[in-house]
A and B are shown apart, each in its own frame.
Chain A
């Protein structure tokens, strides 16, 4: 026992000495504000994906405020948002009747070495291509894959960087999208990052355990490749199986983007998404095509977008309120990042 404590003390002393050599960073402060106008061709809210919900209204997204500080090998991030996108339309806050705020990130990280770090707290999920913050997405509306997957995970994770081209993360997490666990630390997750060539990064993700619907396992591939200065291609594919054949989903989304001018990029999102069959109930499937432009000037990004979705089972409505296989919308969004 004495030897063990001595060893721990020695490691702690060494770490402390190394930490003293690493200077602290200034306090980082950043954030964003976003607002939008949407016109749905059915003259009512129709497409059932997250955010951009209001028809024929100049509506709010969210104000997002983030702090980060690193001292030696330890760092923290605290990020909080207010507004529909960050409050009523985000899952943890919806449970609190949408009257509160939404923590986007709240975690502490410690770099044991240049290659090994551990992180604990509440973090943006490692699953999927799209995120809650509009600053992190090219398209302003979101995909079915994003809407149905996890938004955030609370937990503890360890990341080991083998090189700039390969890293591995493994962690234990609460059930999805909750500040505190309802069924204990019940999920295990992992992420393998590979970067086979310069500009191409791929993440292979697995998360298995408790989720809002029960228990299940999600496998996810998220990758993007900056093929040339003007052309970038992204891909997200995911498969989610719930325990006891209780359903799930599978889908794939492709994100080609072309920079047509110094400050203007045009991108497409093409998505196929299918809910799995549950017993005799057949799962329904969606296809969606979204054409988006990003026009940047300093911190401001102006995002015009047209979106057309299709589902043969006619889950949408038309102008008269009847069922329809197609839905469409046009939106204009302004996102300012600082």
Chain B
């Protein structure tokens, strides 16, 4: 009997854990990923790092505008379908990144998630099938509900990874690191 109780609570915990792995919704009913990070660097350093981070993604993240305390960028992440060790892209999700810095803290959020499906062209390359994107919040019909759920989950997973990379970039001075990496070391003198 105790085993059944433990199993029951374990399943509940797993279900709650699974439910948490999805986007929150903002005031306008749109999906949002939002985080506030405390105990960070000074405002100017944070903004320099945020701008360097955006520029490091020169093909998939484009800066829209920036001030001395905020930056906005438009990005794209590709959603893949994996079969054993191989995979192929199934579509792309575009998003807007907003990042605002104050002294010793910053916040960022990703929103405006929109999906464009990919199809295989005559050369067996996966390319967008349309230019008209579908908001990720839309309620799909019964026939495509399962596929849409997978897309939303994959987009959330990619967003979490993106957020982790952003936080890592803002926690260390990347430019300084790059300079150290490129330094020439001579063994001729001690």
Contacts and interface: CB of A to CB of B under 8 A. Distances in A.
Interface of A: 26-30, 66-68, 77, 79, 104-105, 107, 123-126, 131, 133, 135-136, 198-199, 226, 228-229, 232, 261-264, 295-298, 337-338
Given A107-B123, A123-B123, 10 more contacts: A28-B126, A68-B88, A77-B123, A77-B124, A79-B124, A126-B122, A133-B120, A262-B144, A298-B147, A337-B120
A133 B121 CA distance: 9
Interface of B is mostly: mixed
What 3 A-B pairs have minimum CB-CB distances, sorted nearest first?
Answer: A29-B86, A262-B141, A124-B122
Interface string B48-88: 00000000000000000000000000000000110101111
A136 B141 contact: no
A26 B126 CA distance: 14
Size band of the interface chain B makes with A = 20 to 34
Contacts of A124: 122-124
Nearest to A337: B120
A298 B146 contact: yes
Contacts of A107: 123
B143 A263 contact: yes
A208 B177 CA distance: 56
A264 B89 CA distance: 23
26 contacts: A26-B85, A26-B86, A27-B86, A27-B87, A28-B88, A28-B89, A28-B126, A29-B88, A66-B124, A68-B88, A68-B125, A123-B122, A123-B123, A124-B122, A136-B119, A136-B122, A198-B131, A199-B130, A228-B132, A263-B141, A264-B143, A295-B143, A296-B143, A296-B144, A297-B143, A297-B147
A111 to B, nearest CB: 12
Contacts of B130: 199, 226, 232
Contacts of B123: 77, 105, 107, 123-124
Contact of A68 (B124, B140, B144, B146): B124
A105 B86 CA distance: 19
Contacts of A198: 131
B132 A30 contact: no
A125 B130 CA distance: 22
Given A68-B125, A77-B125, A226-B131, A27 B85 contact: yes
A126 B126 CA distance: 16
A163 B89 CA distance: 23
B189 to A, nearest CB: 29
A136 B143 contact: no
Contacts of B88: 28-30, 68
Contacts of A67: 86
A263 B144 contact: yes
Contacts of B134: 229
B147 to A, nearest CB: 5
A66 B120 contact: yes
Nearest to B140: A262
A161 to B, nearest CB: 14
A198 B133 CA distance: 12
B132 A136 contact: no
A265 to B, nearest CB: 11
Contacts of A131: 122
Nearest to B141: A262
Nearest to B80: A26
Given A66-B124, A135-B119, A136-B120, A28 B86 contact: yes
Contacts of B125: 68, 77
Given A226-B131, A298-B146, A298-B147, A30 B120 contact: yes
Interface string B129-154: 01110100000110110110000000
A107 B125 CA distance: 12
Contacts of B126: 28, 30
Nearest to B81: A338
B122 A229 contact: no
Nearest to B129: A226
Nearest to A69: B86
Nearest to A68: B124
A26 B81 CA distance: 11
